Amino acid sequence: MQKLYNYILGKKITGDGDGQVLYNAVSGNAIATASTAGLNFDDILSYARNKGSALRKMSFHERGLMLRALANHLRKHLDKFYSISYQTGATKADSWIDIEGGIGNLFANASLRRKLPDTPFCLDGEHHALGKQNTFMGHHLLVPKEGVAIHINAFNFPVWGMLEKIAVNLLAGMPCVVKPATVTSYLTEAVVKEIMDSNILPNGALQLICGSAGNMLDYVTSQDVVTFTGSATTGLMLKSHKRILEENVPFNMEADSLNCIILGNDVTPEMPEWDIFIKEVRKEITVKCGQKCTAVRRIFVPENKIEAVQTALIKALSQTTIGNPLNEKVRMGSLAGNTQRNEVKTQVQKLLASSQLIYGSLDSVETIDADANKGAFISPMLLLNTTPFLTNEVHEVEAFGPVSTLMPYKNLEEAIELSKMGKGSLVSSIVTASEKNATNYVLGAGAYHGRILVLNNECAKENTGHGSPLPLLVHGGPGRAGGGEEMGGLRGIKHYMQRVAIQGSPTMLTAVSKVFQPNAKGNIDGRHPFTKYFEELQIGDQLITEKRLITSEDINKFADLSGDHFYAHKTETDFSGTMFEQQVAHGYFIMSIAAGLFVDGFKKNPVLLNYGIDELRFTKPVYPGAEIYIRFTCKEKIAQDTKDENDLPKGIVKWLVEIFDESNEITGIATILTMVAKKNK
């Protein structure tokens, strides 16, 4: 029988002893064993920390391109991953979520490099002036932690569960050790094998253990980060580990939660939202055989529609074909294993203390092309609880399978209170065509849910669904859901980086951060910045322009040319009671004049085009007779990828534009972006 490898210490190693036997969830046949016995977890974590220095030294752009290369590599092996995934009981649709959804996380995080500097670190937030003479300031810097991210996954997403997490820590510059759910770790191992064979990641960036985490947490340090996905009970045990507490190790938990969906009281059977609701609930019960931390466990419906919803849901669920995922007729596969099936049945029995089973069976299920007894098959089950305010089980017990409970509510206020009785969830949804209902629900229930989907006919075709976390949005929830956050785009990388407040002179903070800070010393070398190629430009390269007199005639001409005849730009306006003393120049006219002053337009140069303007502000009125000049400074450089061999190598340069008048006061400030060619073709 195959023995799964642990990919550790730069090699693949099998654990000692027989290990835990892993089974094909469909046939019940033993397919592999997993063991971590005999592994030295202190050495494993030390290896990651020491070798991880290579990852920390890479820039965000290099890490992002690394993730993109990895995603493209894994896509070449989809057929292999799908064939193994079927053994976990997953249908093709289930596997698509797990495998291609996981790879999609790599792509999504890779794309974030465009929002980050081409350095190993980045600034966080805005600068703060700390002195009246502008010689002392503060900022926040994010630097990679010097430890290892430890990902412990107890849920049945063997690919997504790994890739959603490592995409973020790798982009942040932190190595990781992954411990997937053992029962389906044979699929995770197959993916990691391809990752290791690709040689895309630096040594030590990723290690995999298949089996028990043993005493690994005994060796964590304050520079490490631990994430956990699984039951709240196990999460609490891990979070309370003596070493975690002693070292103040960041611990991000995504725990099982009693997610809910609400049918708005405005929705009636003839509305499209009715069918959307029924379809969404059926999908959430049956996809992945209900084995999702985001699956709908509680269904809240207006009490006058409970019977109609019950009838519609039973009809929808009765059309679900169950069996061998390889059979094209099958729409729901099996649970991950018989142990999990026994656990689901135990939890359903607890729910039945206060609810009744209105669809499905605890003891029997009809299957296609599979033996229901040998495989880990179970029937979808719909329960009904008519007194949700008087019973606790339905708000406290989760059956981690295709099980959900239907409950009535009288008004939206009751629906909000019922949603809160789950004591925190990863996600909640409301299906409604009423903007008022949507607003009241989101604001009333938002503090208890990590994500809220507002679903109606308008977004039905494009919506990603109640149960689908997205890489660019936070995934996590308060209270019972664990209190953590994962993914979330740029927010996610901050879990793996240390925020350090830095103080000093603007020039010194410019040198440290590689981003020009206001009032820092500029570099004036007599050469116009626009004549420099991307590689030649230095942060702080600066130009101070000649002055330009602003006249009333200029303002009138710009008004005629632009069509902007706002009263403040007219000479005949009575300015009493206004913010202005006399005719004032258009802000956009001043910005146009600024461009005329700083642009080197007399000969062809490396600047390819104007890419846009950020943070444009007009801070002081400019009246006829004023003389303005520009301080133009290279603020930041962002390299761009070439699309193919014919693409012109280039980068984006951000320039700080400061507009001064004859009294040397700033009248306007902006950041403009130009696309600049690279010298090296």
Active-site positions? Answer: 254, 293
Expressed in percent and rounded to 5, the helix, strand and coil fractions of the chain are 35, 25, 40
CA gap 74, 188 in Å, rounded: 12
* CA quadruple 197, 200, 202, 208: dihedral sign: negative
* CA quadruple 261, 262, 267, 269: dihedral sign: positive
Please check whether residue 291 is in contact with residue 51, taking contact to mean a CB–CB distance below 8 angstroms. Answer: no
Q: Which DSSP helix (H) or strand (E) runs through 312? A: helix 306-318
Helix then strand count (H, E) for the chain reads 20, 29
CA gap 243, 249 in Å, rounded: 8
CA dihedral 157, 161, 163, 168 (to 10 degrees): 160
Q: Which DSSP helix (H) or strand (E) runs through 192? A: helix 185-198
CA gap 35, 214 in Å, rounded: 10
DSSP string, 140-173: EEEEE-SS-EEEEE-SS-TTHHHHHHHHHHHHHT
Buried b (16+ CB within 10 A) or exposed e, 494-529: bbbbeeeeeebbbbbbbeebebbbbbbebeeeeebb
Backbone φ and ψ for 553, nearest 5 degrees, come out as -65, -40
| Cβ count near 374 (within 10 Å) | 14
CA gap 96, 306 in Å, rounded: 34
DSSP string, 636-664: EEEE---SSTTSPPEEEEEEEEEEE-TTS
Q: Are strands 403-409 and 381-384 parallel, antiparallel or unpaired?
A: parallel
**Quick check: helix, strand or coil at residue 223?**
coil
Please check whether residue 402 is in contact with residue 381, taking contact to mean a CB–CB distance below 8 angstroms. Answer: yes
CA gap 437, 447 in Å, rounded: 17
CA distances to 220, 228, 255, 306, 485 from 233, rounded to whole Å, are 21, 11, 9, 33, 18
Angle between helices 101-111 and 60-75 (to 10 degrees): 150
CA gap 219, 223 in Å, rounded: 11
CA gap 298, 251 in Å, rounded: 28
CA gap 191, 7 in Å, rounded: 11
**Quick check: helix, strand or coil at residue 493?**
helix
